[in-house]
Amino acid sequence: MTIYDFKVKDAQKNEVSLGSYRGKVLLIVNTATGCGFTPQYEALENLYKKYKDKGLEILDFPCNQFLNQAPGTDEEIVEFCKLNYDVSFKTFSKIEVNGSNEAPLYTFLKKAFPSDTENEETSSFLKLLNDLGQSSVGSDIKWNFTKFLVDRNGNVVGRYSPTYKPEDLEAKIKELLGE
Q: What is the pLDDT of residues 74-115, one digit of tens each?
A: 999 999 999 999 999 999 999 999 999 999 999 999 999 877
Task: Give the total number of structural domains in the chain.
Answer: 1
Is the Cβ–Cβ distance between 60 and 27 less than 8 Å?
Answer: no
| Residue 84, pLDDT score | 96
Which residues carry out catalysis?
A: 35
Is the Cβ–Cβ distance between 29 and 158 less than 8 Å?
Answer: no
Q: Which amino acid is at 11?
A: A
Orientation angle between helical segments 74-85 and 40-51, nearest 10 degrees: 80
Is the pLDDT at 143 greater than 90? The verdict is: no
The CATH number of the domain where 91 resides is what? 3.40.30.10
Strands (E), the chain: 7-9, 15-17, 25-31, 56-62, 90-91, 147-150, 156-160
CA pair distance 41, 77, nearest whole angstrom: 12
* Residue 67 pLDDT grade (very low, low, confident, very high; cuts 50, 70, 90): confident
DSSP secondary structure letters along 124-169: HHHHHHHHTT----TTS--STT-EEEE-TTS-EEEEE-TTS-GGGG
Look up the domain containing 76 and give its range. Answer: 3-177
